Amino acid sequence: MSQLGTVTDRILDAVHGAPGCQLDDLVLRLPELTWNQVFLEVDRLSRTRQVWVTAMGEGTYAISLPKKEKRTRTPISSRETQQEANHDSGCSGISDRLDRSRSPQPARR
């Protein structure tokens, strides 16, 4: 039995093959993974800036790879370091955006 690669590798390969694909389409391209596995990994990859998640409309998100940069990425290995990086950079993951988009907005006066 051959190894298919990590969840991360499979997702990045799928996004590379179909840049700008919607999250639901990405799930369909990876039938060996559950929707939850894809969602959680896309969330993690967006927090570490390995993919970009763009809201396309109500509940629709496009996934793409960032443009190549001259500097190389340094993987974030510890959860504390990742949380600090997210806090310092102001970046948030897809789950944060979903939470905000579903919460009721206060009435403006």
pLDDT for the residue 97: 54
Per the structure block, which two tokens stand in for 38?
């894809």
The CA distance from 58 to 3, in Å, is 37
Arch. (CATH architecture) of 7-66+76-100: Orthogonal Bundle (1.10)
Domain locations along the chain: 7-66+76-100
Average pLDDT of every residue of the chain = 75
pLDDT for the residue 9: 94
Report the predicted TM-score, pTM, of the whole model to 2 decimal places: 0.60
Q: What is the pLDDT of residues 27-62, one digit of tens each?
A: 999 999 999 999 999 999 999 999 999 999 888 999
